Amino acid sequence: MEKEKFSIENLPQVLNTQISPSISDLFKKGMHDYRHHDYNGAIEIFQSIISTNPELAEAHVNLGDAYFRLDQTQEAIDCWKKALSLDSTQVSCYINIGNGCFLNNNVAEAIKHWLIAITMAPDHTTALMNLGAAYEQLKDMSQAFKYYEEFLKYYPKDGSSTYQKINSKVTKSKKVAEHNLKSGFYYQKRNNLRKAAMCYLNSIKAYPNFAKAHLNMGSICYMAKKYTHAIKYWKQAVNVDPTYDNTYCNLGVAYEIIKKYELAFCMYTKFKEMGGNSYQIDERLKQLTEFLNKHPGVVGKRLEKADEFYSKQKYTESLWEYENYIILKPDQKNSFEHRINELKNYLNPVFKAANTAYEIGNTCFSQGKYDKAIHAYRRYLILNSDGEYKTIVNKKISDCAKHMGKTMNSFAKAGR
C-alpha cells in the first residue's frame, strides 16, 4: 500500500489565503520540521496554527500527516476528515483516510474513500494501486485487475519495482487465461463440454475479465440446465463487456425459466434498448407486463436489493439493481438518477473526468485562452486516449497552437 507523501504543494494555497505573515512563517516552520522528520515539532506548530486559524484546511491536512508518521492513525484520520469538511477538494485526504482505514482493517471504508479520490482524479496511481490491492485482499480479482490495469495505464513506465511487479502480475495472469480460453474454444467446438468448462474455469480463475470465458461458461451451464449458474456467468460477462446485446436476451430466457419474471422483463428491455429486434421478445414483454401488473410486489424487491447492495458498498450489484428498478418503474427515474450517476461515476470515473476536461477545453478555446485550452485537451487525451473526441481534440490542439503562433507574431511585429 502506498501513502500520499507530504508535499509542499499546499504552501501556495496557504499563502494565497488572507493570513498574517507570522502565521505564514509558522506554517513554513511546520513544513520544515516535517520534512526533517521532526513530527512532534510539526504537530505542535500546526496545532498552534489551528488554534488561531481553525479554517485553514491545509493545516489540518499536515497535522494529520504528522500524526500518521507517528502511527497515530485515528488522530490522523480525524484531522483529514476535518480538512475535508473545510475543503472537499483535497484528494490526498481521501487517499490518506483510505490508507488509515486499511491499516485499521476497515477495508470497506478504505475502498469507499479511494473510490471518491478517483472520481476526482481518475489517473491518480496511488489510489488505483491501493484499490487493486484492497480488492485482491477481498479476493475480488475482477475488480483487482481492473484497477491494476488502470494503474499501469497512467503510471510512468520507468522500470520501477512497483510498475514491474504489477505489470508482471497482470501480464502472466492474462497469458494463462488466454491459453485456457483458446483450449476451451478447441474442446467446445468438438463438443467436449466437460473439458471446455474446465478450461474456461481455469481462464476465469487466472484472469476474470475476459467476457468470452464467462459467455461460453454460461452457455455450457445453460445446456446442462444449470440456469442459476448460467445467469451468474452471463451477468459477469455483461459487467466486463456490456455491449453484447444477445447476452441480455440469454439472461431474459434464463430468468423466465427460474420464474424471475421481473428480471426477465428487465433483460428483454435492455436487449431492445441496445438495438436487439425480435418479434418473440416483443410478445414475451407483453405477457410479462401482464404478470407485473398482477404482482406489483415483486418490483419493490428490486429496490430493496439495490439499497442493500449500496449499504454494503457493492456498487456493481447496486447499479445493476437500480437500473432494473427504473426499467420496472420508469416514473421513478428522476428520483434515482442522482444515485445511478453516482454509482456510474464510482465505477467509471474516467468518462466523466475526460468529458469535463473536453468541455473546459472548448470553453477556453471559445474565450481565446488557447494555452489553457491545450492543457485541458491534453488532459482529455491522457484520461481517454481512444475517446470519441480524440480526432476533434487533436485538431483543436493544433488550432490552439496556430492561434498562439499568430498572437506571438503580432506581439513581435508590434515590438519592432
Domains by residue range for the chain, with CATH: 10-168 (1.25.40.10), 208-347 (1.25.40.10), 350-414 (1.20.58)
Contact at 8 Å (CB) between 210 and 184?
no
Model confidence at 6, in pLDDT bands (50, 70, 90)?
very low
Average pLDDT, the chain: 90
Contact at 8 Å (CB) between 255 and 264?
yes
Neighbours of 290 (CB within 10 A): 10
Average pLDDT for 148-156: 94
355-359 CB contacts, 8 Å cutoff, 24+ apart: 357/383, 358/389, 358/393
Residue in this structure with the C-alpha cell 465505477, named with its chain if needed: 347
Average pLDDT for 190-196: 97
Average pLDDT for 29-36: 93
Residue 19's pLDDT is what?
64
183: left (phi over 0), alpha (psi -120 to 50) or beta: alpha
The span from the CA of 23 to the CA of 20, in Å, is: 5
Contacts of 359 (CB under 8 A, 6+ apart): none
Q: Is the dihedral of CA 148, 152, 155, 158 positive or negative?
A: positive
User: Could you report the per-residue pLDDT of 227-273, keeping only the tens digit for each?
Assistant: 999 999 999 999 999 888 899 999 999 999 999 999 999 999 999 99
Q: pTM here? A: 0.82
Separation in Å, CA 7 to CA 31, 45, 66, 87, 184: 9, 17, 12, 17, 51
Average pLDDT for 330-346: 93
Whether 168 has a pLDDT exceeding 80, the answer reads: yes
Average pLDDT for 90-98: 93
The span from the CA of 10 to the CA of 31, in Å, is: 10
What single DSSP character describes residue 362?
A: H
